[in-house]
């Protein structure tokens, strides 16, 4: 087959949070499975944990030479000379990377780090695909969507915020392998040291903002401990909070598996009866794919309030209860958790609504878009031939003042 003779080169750009990075890793994993002889590169921040995360998984990482990318949320970064200089330098580096690496496609994962890399790809005639995790697209993807070949959207309706809605494809958000609406096994409970007969609360702080959720759970423990015969917990507390959180559960005599980062998330979702989490796009994509009801607390400092938009989607569908962080207290959390766990019919209805939002085929849908561009480019004799140059948009809408 032609596809077996292809040895693609793909660049993934973006990160800063697990919510941006994980969908890219899921797609990369599937592309590597399809073409193990290909070359795959992640562009990461020079001081970010993203680089270590990818290197541990056997993926090459490239970082900018000590420059800081202007954040995507910075208003008019060109008005600040130092940010403009950093951005221009990063763009020049990205253009050089494209000419040296000669990828068939660049996959932008969102966030400010993706901007110079995707622009560098567009300027050199390399097609770009964008992954958008949120109901309200981030500023970086809204800007880059003018020139992307397609934008893979996670939620219906988010395309209306893009510069070219006609290029949006509703794929869902790529999720880790194995996550789905499956029943737990005895082995799942055993690996977390839990009992199958109890109700299980799964607490996910995310890569940012775990402190507020940790504090809320610890404040709720005195009340939750009164139902310790009913309740057990799997808690991803983050590296900074894992020791203190574990001690709190031990002091309250509540059965809990406390980890800084949960590697086997598929098993964690299987044992969970209820999830307490942030409203990040990737987290909610996994929760809905697993068909689990949730209590969601939007991160109040997320850029442009996109977590509130995500929370509104799942809460509006009856799959979750949304709680503003300003209202979050231990008493309220305990009341919500015990109330839901004590109403099996309500919990099951929320689970059904959650499953209706889940998109188990999301990774395959994004892979199809990437695969199509790879094959079309690999069958082109020259990466930057005249046809590719003519096809690249090259900032035409902005230069001519046209509306995208």
Q: What is the pLDDT of residues 4-63, one digit of tens each?
A: 567 899 999 987 677 788 999 999 999 999 999 999 999 986 656 777 888 888 889 998
- Residue 397: the pLDDT is 31
Question: How many angstroms separate the CA atoms of 71 and 312, rounded?
Answer: 25
Q: How far apart are CA 176 and CA 184, in angstroms?
A: 17
Is residue 309 located within the same domain as residue 395? no
Which residue, 294, 330, 327, is CA-closest to 310? 294
Q: Which percentage of the chain shows pLDDT scores above 90?
A: 70
User: Looking at the structure, do residues 262 and 346 belong to the same domain, yes or no?
Assistant: yes
pLDDT band at 173 (very low <50, low <70, confident <90, very high): very high
Q: Is residue 180 part of a domain?
A: no
275-311 core/surface letters (b: 16 or more CB in 10 A; e: else): bbbbbbbbbbbbbbbbbbbbbbbbbeebbeebbbbbb
Task: Give the range of the structural domain holding residue 218, as residue numbers without chain letter.
Answer: 186-357
pLDDT at residue 2 is higher than 90: no
pTM: 0.86
Phi, then psi, of 151 in degrees rounded to 5: -120, 120
- pLDDT bucket at 80, cuts 50 / 70 / 90: low
Torsion of CA 63, 69, 71, 74, to 10 degrees: -170
Q: What is the CATH number of the domain that holds 383?
A: 3.40.50.2000
Domain count, the chain: 2
User: What's the N-to-C CA distance of the chain in angstroms?
Assistant: 39
Please answer whether residues 24 and 12 qualify as being in contact, where contact means their C-beta atoms are separated by less than 8 angstroms. yes
Mean pLDDT of the chain: 87
Residues 257, 390, single domain; the answer is: no
Region 160-182 average pLDDT? 95
Averaged pLDDT, 220-233: 96
Q: Is residue 138 part of a domain?
A: yes
260 and 277, same domain (yes or no): yes
Per-residue pLDDT, 4: 54
Quote the pLDDT of residue 72: 46
- Tell whether 404 is covered by a domain: no
What pLDDT score was predicted for residue 387?
39
pLDDT at residue number 47: 57
Q: What is the DSSP string of 3-42?
A: GGG---EEEEE--SSHHHHHHHHHHHHHHHHH-TTSEEEE
34 domain residue, yes or no: yes
The stretch 318-337 carries a mean pLDDT of 97
Give the pLDDT score at 294: 98
Characterize 80-114 residue by residue with b for buried, 16 or more Cβ atoms within 10 angstroms of its Cβ, and e for exposed: eeebeebbebbbebbbebbeebebbbbbbbbbbbb
Mean pLDDT to the nearest integer, 230-259: 94
Q: How far apart are CA 282 and CA 133, in angstroms?
A: 6
Is residue 179 in a domain?
Answer: no
Question: Angle between the 306-316 and 344-357 helix axes, to the nearest 10 degrees?
Answer: 120
Distance CA 206, CA 133 (A): 14
pLDDT for 400: 28
Distances (CA, A) of 398 to 127, 147, 243, 351, 394: 18, 11, 52, 46, 9
Q: What was the pLDDT predicted at 89?
A: 85
Mean pLDDT along residues 354-365: 96
- Quick one: 323 and 240 in the same domain? yes
| DSSP string for residues in 127-181 | -EEEEE-SSS--HHHHHHTTT-SEEEESSTTGGGGSS-GGGEEE------TT-SS
pLDDT band for position 288 (50/70/90)? very high
Q: Residue 235: helix, strand or coil by DSSP?
A: strand
pLDDT, one tens digit per residue, over 304-326 is: 889 999 999 999 999 999 999 99
Residue, of 391 and 310, whose pLDDT is higher: 310
Quickly state the pLDDT bin for 239 (edges 50, 70, 90).
Answer: confident
256 lies in the same domain as 349: yes
Residue among 131, 132, 181 nearest 370 (CA): 131
Task: Judge whether residue 385 has pLDDT over 50.
Answer: no
CB-CB contact of 303 with 329 (8 Å):
no
């Amino acid at each position: 087959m032609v596809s077996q003779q292809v040895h693609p080169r793909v660049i993934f750009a973006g990160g800063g949070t697990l919510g941006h990075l994980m969908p890219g890793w899921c797609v990369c994993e599937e592309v590597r499975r399809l073409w193990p002889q290909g070359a795959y590169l992640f562009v990461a921040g020079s001081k970010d944990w993203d680089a270590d995360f990818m290197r541990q998984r056997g993926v090459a990482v490239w970082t900018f030479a000590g420059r800081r990318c202007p954040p995507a949320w910075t208003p008019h970064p060109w008005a600040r000379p130092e940010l403009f200089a950093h951005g221009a330098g990063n763009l020049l580096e990205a253009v050089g990377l494209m000419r040296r690496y000669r990828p068939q496609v660049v996959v932008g994962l969102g966030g400010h780090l993706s901007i110079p890399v995707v622009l560098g790809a567009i300027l050199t005639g390399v097609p770009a695909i964008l992954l958008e995790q949120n109901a309200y697209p981030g500023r970086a993807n809204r800007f880059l969507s003018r020139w992307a070949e397609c934008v893979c959207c996670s939620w219906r309706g988010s395309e209306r915020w893009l510069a070219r809605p006609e290029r949006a494809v509703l794929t869902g958000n790529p999720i880790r392998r194995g996550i789905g609406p499956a029943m737990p096994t005895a082995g799942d409970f055993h690996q977390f040291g839990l009992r199958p007969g109890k109700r299980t609360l799964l607490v996910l702080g995310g890569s940012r903002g775990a402190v507020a959720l940790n504090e809320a759970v610890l404040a709720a423990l005195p009340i939750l401990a009164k139902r310790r015969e009913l309740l057990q917990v799997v808690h991803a507390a983050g590296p900074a909070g894992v020791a203190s959180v574990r001690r709190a559960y031990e002091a309250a005599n509540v059965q809990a598996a406390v980890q800084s980062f949960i590697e086997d998330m598929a098993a964690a979702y299987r044992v969970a009866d209820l999830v307490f989490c942030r409203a990040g796009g990737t987290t909610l994509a996994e929760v809905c794919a697993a068909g689990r009801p949730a209590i969601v607390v939007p991160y109040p400092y997320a850029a442009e309030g996109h977590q509130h938009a995500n929370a509104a989607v799942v809460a509006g569908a009856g799959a979750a209860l949304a709680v503003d962080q300003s209202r979050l207290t231990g008493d309220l959390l305990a009341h919500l958790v015990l109330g839901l766990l004590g109403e099996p019919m309500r919990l099951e209805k929320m689970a059904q609504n959650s499953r209706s939002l889940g998109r188990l085929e999301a990774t395959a849908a994004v892979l199809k878009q990437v695969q199509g561009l790879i094959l079309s480019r690999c069958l082109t004799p020259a990466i930057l031939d005249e046809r590719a140059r003519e096809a690249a948009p090259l900032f035409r809408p902005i230069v001519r003042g046209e509306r995208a």
